[in-house]
Chains A and B, each alone.
Chain A
Amino acid sequence: MGKIYLDNGASTKTDNKVVQAMIPYFKEMYGNASSIHKLGKDAKLAIEKSRKTIAKSLNVIPEEIVFTSGGTESNNLALKGTAFAAASMNKEKNHIITTKIEHDCVLESAKWLETQGFKVTYLDVDKEGFVLLEKLKSAITPKTLLVSIIHGNNEIGTIQDLESIGKACKKNNVLFHTDACQSFTKANLDVKKFNLDLVTLNAHKIHGPKGVGALYVKKGTIIMPWQHGGGHEFGLRSGTENVPGIVGFAKAVKIVDSNNIKEMERLRDKLIEGVLKIPESRLNGPIGKKRLCNNANFSFKKIEGESITGYLDIMGIASSTASACSSMSLEPSHVLMAIGLSREEAHGSLRITLSRYTKEEDIDKLIKKLSKVVNKLRRISPLGG
């Protein structure tokens, strides 16, 4: 039985070219980039070359790219680093604006900052997951130091209008951060046009290795380090650099082909069309260009999401759910609740995330099998088939 991987929002297959690029930095050029001998210099050179590649892909300068251990660390640094730096310069600055649909690492950082005396506004979103610009504008006060809004939502794929939000931030002289873990290389991310001061990136969602990411920090941004030590990464992130990881990250960026976006969009729309033929199903999040090219999220009435993903897994298809039963907290997804779903609809959710390796036959197979799984589970549901 062939395996079909449709959980690319969780992580992606590391591209073979990426693995090949990394291997020499395990086997031969294993030096510490801070060392002054040849192996150290080789490592340092590799890091700087990688930094250039990633900076170029964002149309920014290399000194604005800070390597981290991944999206979670980048988001923590963005929020905590700017909050404490701003407050240390001006005690009046104590307010952060974010949304109710952020990734947990942003939400939990924000909640922790509240325990440290900061105030946080969690913006509502509309039924498709979009931030309402007017609500954002009215939330900004002279005390606001940062606006942090996820670019492409990891659960429902909503791509925010960062350009308009960025304009509002610039006008009010507020720092603007986005978590672009899901959207990087998959949606237009124009750092300058969007007036972004901070952007979170990671490697393993784009066929790079796990354990490496970056934070774009616009030159002159007031931010302080969150991890102290030897002053690596322009003093913003101490710790011996993950050289193979950084090299792999850059390779993953280099081999991105924007033509893949169109194909993923086509397959995504085929998938959505096919799945919505199943009775009592719905799509969560928007359709069309304002949705991540590789994301689809559905809810099915009368059945529970963990059973759906469990059944698909037995059939050799990897997917994910935001049902309460799949989480340690037994609480349904905060994102699905924020877009107004009932608990039942949130429990019955299924997320399918594609990659450039996804084939048309994978989608055909999924649609066929999913329809069977839904029928089977509904037959044994007391809520009626």
Chain B
Amino acid sequence: MYSKKIIDMFKNPKFAGEIKNPDAIGEVGNVKCGDIMKIYLKIDSGIIKDIKFKTYGCMAAIAASEAMCKLVKEKTLEEASKITSKDIVKELGGEMPLVKVHCSVLGMEALQKAIENYNKK
């Protein structure tokens, strides 16, 4: 069902974890629907210097979290806010089972929420 790339990202997520004293946090989803994604950002001069995630969900949700983090690290907030779920799917190797596309959307939403929270500060 999953591509090798998705499995690899699920198996060895380099961005899994949390950041102490983050500059912003974004959390989306709920336990009822079966997916929760929480991301932590460290921001310096408008650039995402570090990013970590914690995800409750299926393999695709965890792999999508990892892919999203990989995409936006070292990007400016402006660049990062333009990341779409399609970019995340592309980073995951371009293949995503149809029923799992919402996982990549969740990744995008978590990031947007974190940026939104940061801008509110």
> Is this pair of chains taken from one and the same complex?
yes
Taken residue by residue from 50 to 78, chain A's Cβ proximity to chain B (1 for < 8 Å, 0 otherwise) reads as 00000000000000000000000000000
Interface size class of A (residues with CB under 8 A): 20 to 34
In the complex, what residue of chain B is closest to A325 when comparing beta carbons?
Answer: B58
In the complex, what residue of chain B is closest to A302 when comparing beta carbons?
Answer: B56
B34's partner among A311, A330, A379, A380 (CB-CB below 8 A) is: A330
Q: Which residues of B contact A117 (CB under 8 A)?
A: none
A310's partner among B10, B17, B56 (CB-CB below 8 A) is: B10
A–B complex contacts, Cβ < 8 Å, 24 sampled: A304-B34, A304-B56, A306-B58, A306-B59, A307-B10, A307-B57, A307-B62, A310-B7, A310-B59, A311-B10, A323-B34, A325-B60, A330-B34, A330-B99, A332-B34, A344-B32, A380-B13, A380-B62, A381-B55, A381-B56, A382-B55, A382-B56, A383-B31, A383-B56
- Other than A310-B2, A344-B31, A383-B31, give 4 A-B pairs with Cβ distance below 8 A: A304-B57, A324-B34, A347-B34, A382-B55
Any B CB within 8 A of the CB of A303: yes
Taken residue by residue from 17 to 60, chain A's Cβ proximity to chain B (1 for < 8 Å, 0 otherwise) reads as 00000000000000000000000000000000000000000000
* Min C-beta distance of B67 to chain A, whole Å: 15
Q: Which residues of A contact B10 (CB under 8 A)?
A: 307, 310-311
Q: Which residues of A contact B11 (CB under 8 A)?
A: 311, 314
A330 to B54, CA, bound (A): 21
Q: Decide: A380 and B55 in contact? CB cutoff 8 A.
A: yes
Interface size class of B (residues with CB under 8 A): 20 to 34
A153 to B73, CA, bound (A): 48
Residues of chain B in range 49-72 having any CB-CB distance to chain A below 8 Å = 53-62
Any A CB within 8 A of the CB of B27: yes
In the complex, what residue of chain B is closest to A331 when comparing beta carbons?
Answer: B34
Q: Decide: B7 and A314 in contact? CB cutoff 8 A.
A: yes
* CB contact under 8 A between A379 and B31, given known A310-B10, A310-B59: no
* Min C-beta distance of A210 to chain B, whole Å: 20
Q: A-contacting residues of B (Cβ < 8 Å)?
A: 2, 7, 10-11, 13, 16-17, 27, 31-38, 53-62, 99
In the complex, what residue of chain B is closest to A329 when comparing beta carbons?
Answer: B99
A7 to B10, CA, bound (A): 22
A381 to B34, CA, bound (A): 12
Any B CB within 8 A of the CB of A178: no
In the complex, what residue of chain A is closest to B99 when comparing beta carbons?
Answer: A328
Q: Which residues of A contact B35 (CB under 8 A)?
A: 304, 325
Q: Decide: B31 and A303 in contact? CB cutoff 8 A.
A: no
Any B CB within 8 A of the CB of A326: yes
Q: Decide: A325 and B62 in contact? CB cutoff 8 A.
A: no
A326's partner among B38, B56, B58 (CB-CB below 8 A) is: B58
Q: Which residues of B contact A332 (CB under 8 A)?
A: 34
Q: Decide: A380 and B99 in contact? CB cutoff 8 A.
A: no
Any B CB within 8 A of the CB of A170: no
* CB contact under 8 A between A382 and B34, given known A306-B59, A310-B58: no
Q: Which residues of A contact B53 (CB under 8 A)?
A: 380
Any B CB within 8 A of the CB of A343: yes
* CB contact under 8 A between A382 and B62, given known A302-B56, A304-B57, A310-B10: no
A126 to B58, CA, bound (A): 29
In the complex, what residue of chain A is closest to B39 when comparing beta carbons?
Answer: A382
Taken residue by residue from 301 to 329, chain A's Cβ proximity to chain B (1 for < 8 Å, 0 otherwise) reads as 01110110011001000000001111010
* Min C-beta distance of B11 to chain A, whole Å: 6
A314 to B34, CA, bound (A): 22
Q: Decide: B58 and A380 in contact? CB cutoff 8 A.
A: no
* Min C-beta distance of A1 to chain B, whole Å: 14
